[in-house]
Amino acid sequence: MKKIDFDFKNRTAIVTGGAQGFGLDIAKRFLSSGAKVIIWDTDLKMTQKAIEVLNNPNLSTNIVDVSNFKEVEKCTNEVIKNSNIDILINNAGITGPTASLWEYDFEMWKKVVDINLMGTFNCCKTIIPNMIKNNYGRIVNVASVAGKDGNANASAYSAGKAGAIGLTKSLGKELADKNIAVNAVTPAGAKTRILDQMTKEHVQRMLSKVPRGRFLEVEEFTSLVCWLSSEENTFSTAAVFDISGGRSTY
């Protein structure tokens, strides 16, 4: 796939869940396009591996649980001491177990929603004041087609991602009078480690719904996120961008 050139020079981006999967590829593309990138992740081992793989002096990392507001606030304050935050990619998320709602473990259901929805809220709440101060920002919230369609036996994940979509629409309108764009992306299943959290039956059921007949490639997803994060995106905000291979058409 031919890659389009983006210019992120003099921009600082925070990518949550950036140590693997979508987040790692986004961080890689941002770095190659001139940005300074800060990865926030909870997995120390994967974060150390990401540092080795990316091998770029413009990369820094923090071990952060995005569902913990105090941790997010502390890390945000550390960043803005030395730099503005121009781009926020709310990518951190977990699918949780596959189970019917009435059999779903209460604490696990709450954990899934806390990371997928509250994590997005926490990062936006702490970072947006810096964007408002500088009248510039690009926020991309990684949701899912599950947040639009609802996946059976994935109520926590579907609810958390649906919440992230609603948050995006509301926040985008709140910031529409400023040079700050807030958008969501709704990918279908992709070839990332998140599929390992699901049963083979659940994965096959997901794939059967995609008219393209295949899973999303990570690089395809990154290209969309990069455009939404760039200065070229001067008008689109409070929107949901589908990248589901035809599964969702609304």
Q: Which residues are catalytic?
A: 157
The residues near 143 (Cβ < 8 Å, ≥ 6 apart) are 161, 162, 164, 165, 168, 184, 185, 186, 240
Element holding 16 (H helix, E strand): strand 12-16
CA dist., res. 72 & res. 128, Å (int): 13
Largest Cα span, the chain:
50
Phi and psi of 238, rounded to 5°?
Answer: 60, 30
Classify residue 157 as left (phi > 0), alpha (psi -120 to 50) or beta: alpha
The span from the CA of 19 to the CA of 50, in Å, is: 5
The CA distance from 223 to 125, in Å, is: 26
